[in-house]
Amino acid sequence: MTARPDPLNDDDRFMNIALEEARIAAYAGEVPIGAVAVIGNEVIARGHNLRETLNDPTAHAEMIVIREASVKLGQWRLTDVTLYVTIEPCAMCAGAIVLARVPRVVFGARDPKAGGGGSVFQILQEPALNHRVELASGIKEDICSNILKDFFGNRRVRDKVDKIVKTQNSPQRTLRTQKIHIDNKGFFSATSALSAVKK
Amino acid sequence: MTARPDPLNDDDRFMNIALEEARIAAYAGEVPIGAVAVIGNEVIARGHNLRETLNDPTAHAEMIVIREASVKLGQWRLTDVTLYVTIEPCAMCAGAIVLARVPRVVFGARDPKAGGGGSVFQILQEPALNHRVELASGIKEDICSNILKDFFGNRRVRDKVDKIVKTQNSPQRTLRTQKIHIDNKGFFSATSALSAVKK
């Protein structure tokens, strides 16, 4: 059997890579969730949510990573893989994890609205299914959760700005164009833009 | 809003197309499940289980059809699609159906071991999620179910034949090669092969 990542030493490290993927997603305007598949100490697949980019409702970070890992290993059974993901997998992703026989999943923050790892459904450890997953959660929980909160917070402000700008005339549109920018974290700096428009 | 298929006139017709896909899967040695995506009276995507062929644990019939329909429509929201599938969707597929906002699913036979449409999980109509699916089941139920039973029955016999042949000498291997064939329904005719080896 291939060695697993060591939970004490490696979980933080691999979750940081998943977080890098989440930041790449945010920069592209995708809901910022990232995932990494690891065997032993080696990352064999990494990815992030690409639903909008690919126009594909199934293009969640975990699905992309599971499919990439299967291609790399030339088999659909991922029996040596530990999967790291920044947010609790949804029903679809939890189902895919069970189908792929992934033995261990490490996630950051819970998803109380749609989580399939215990929050809304308990798919990863359902006794009726033919595979159950060892679960660890809360790894870098605050960072994983805050990336999402910031993204949706910024999006709400941006939508508000867009609404205001639509009711204004063209000089204000110019003002908005000057003030709105993507900051160095990949996030849309909308609060300053909103105050600029309100002046 | 685009017209939906008429349940009284069209559900049997579209399920027959899903069954054709299931038979193609059986012929390829894949677990025989087929699916079809329909808008109005038009089939916009059809597919079958391809897990073994693609080495992809996510390559269920429904997932293939959802992804193909999204590509064709250029959007991830499949809000006008009726999805036909021969067997109750698993957790992964049910999750994908909800994520894609599919309004109506018609399936043939229940899957009491892993179904996500009420049998093990009720993902398609979970009040906590942001989308609920209208469900119809039992359409051509016996045919949908029997294709699966025949497939697994034949596979068990084939595995038994393989075990017997492995303990025999080469003349019997030749005999087996001569007697085993794929019949015109795409199924492995193993019973006669088994009796041939036993002689």
pLDDT digits (tens, 9 = 90+) for A17-68: 999 999 999 999 999 999 999 999 999 999 999 999 999 999 999 999 999 9
Nearest to A16 by CA among A140, A106, A148, A135: A140
Neighbours of B122 (CB within 10 A): 16
Mode of pairing for the β-strands spanning B42-48 and A42-48: unpaired
Q: For chain B, how big is the Rg over CA atoms in Å?
A: 19
Cα–Cα dist A158/B171, whole Å:
76
Query: What are the two backbone dihedrals, phi and then psi, of residue B122, each rounded to the nearest 5 degrees?
Result: -115, 80
Interface predicted TM-score (ipTM) of this complex, two decimals: 0.83
Neighbours of B60 (CB within 10 A): 28
B93 part of contact set with chain A, CB < 8 Å = yes
**Residues of B with CB below 8 A from A56's CB?**
67, 70-71, 76
Mean pLDDT, chain A, whole residue set: 87
DSSP H or E segment with residue B183: none
Q: Is there a catalytic annotation at residue B52?
A: no
**Residues of A with CB below 8 A from B52's CB?**
76
For residue A118, the number of C-alpha atoms closer than 13 Å in the C-beta half-sphere is 13
B27 part of contact set with chain A, CB < 8 Å = no
B91 part of contact set with chain A, CB < 8 Å = yes
To test the contact with chain B by mutation, choose from A64, A98, A123 the residue with the greatest count of B C-beta atoms within 10 A, namely: A123
pLDDT, position B2 = 65
**Residues of A with CB below 8 A from B92's CB?**
91-96, 98-99
Cα pseudo-dihedral B5, B9, B10, B12, rounded to 10: 150
Please report which confidence band the pLDDT of residue A169 belongs to, taking 50, 70 and 90 as the band edges: low
Residue A6 has pLDDT above 90, yes or no: no
- Say which of B58, B76, B129 has its CB closest to residue A114: B129
Could you report the per-residue pLDDT of B136-176, keeping only the tens digit for each?
999 999 999 999 999 999 988 988 888 888 887 655 554 44
Which B-chain residues 95-124 have CB contacts (< 8 A) with chain A?
Answer: 95-96, 98-101, 113-114, 116, 120-121, 123
**Residues of B with CB below 8 A from A75's CB?**
55
Contact status, residue B56 vs residue A67, Cβ threshold 8 Å: yes
Distance of CA B88 to the CA centre of its chain: 9
Please report which confidence band the pLDDT of residue A2 belongs to, taking 50, 70 and 90 as the band edges: low
Nearest to A33 by CA among A101, A89, A103: A89
Record: contact B114-A128, CB cut-off 8 A: yes
What is the average per-residue pLDDT within B6-23? Answer: 93
Cα–Cα dist A81/A96, whole Å:
13
Residue A89 has pLDDT above 80, yes or no: yes
What is the average per-residue pLDDT within A138-143? Answer: 97
pLDDT, position B169 = 60
Cα–Cα dist B112/A199, whole Å:
62
Neighbours of B152 (CB within 10 A): 11
What is the average per-residue pLDDT within B63-80? Answer: 98
Nearest to A100 by CA among A120, A82, A116: A82
Record: contact B57-A51, CB cut-off 8 A: no
Cα three-residue angle A107-A109-A115, rounded to 5 degrees: 80
pLDDT, position B1 = 55
pLDDT, position A120 = 98
Q: For chain A, how big is the Rg over CA atoms in Å?
A: 19
Side by side, the strands of the sheet bearing B42-48 are B42-48, B34-39, B82-87, B104-109, B134-137
To test the contact with chain B by mutation, choose from A121, A124, A152 the residue with the greatest count of B C-beta atoms within 10 A, namely: A121
Q: How many residues does chain A have?
A: 199
Return the higher-pLDDT residue of A171 and A197: A171
Neighbours of B119 (CB within 10 A): 16
Residue A170 has pLDDT above 80, yes or no: no
Q: Which chain A residue has the Cα nearest residue B114? A: A129
Record: contact B76-A98, CB cut-off 8 A: no
Sign of CA dihedral A122, A84, B70, B46: negative
pLDDT, position A167 = 80
Supply B38's token pair. 């329909």
Residue B53 has pLDDT above 70, yes or no: yes
If you ran DSSP here, which 8-state letter would residue B12 be given?
H
Q: Which of A21, A30, A62, A88 is catalytic?
A: A62
Q: How many residues does chain B have?
A: 199
Nearest to B29 by CA among B151, B126, B163: B151
Please report which confidence band the pLDDT of residue A105 belongs to, taking 50, 70 and 90 as the band edges: very high
pLDDT, position B197 = 40
Return the higher-pLDDT residue of B20 and B171: B20
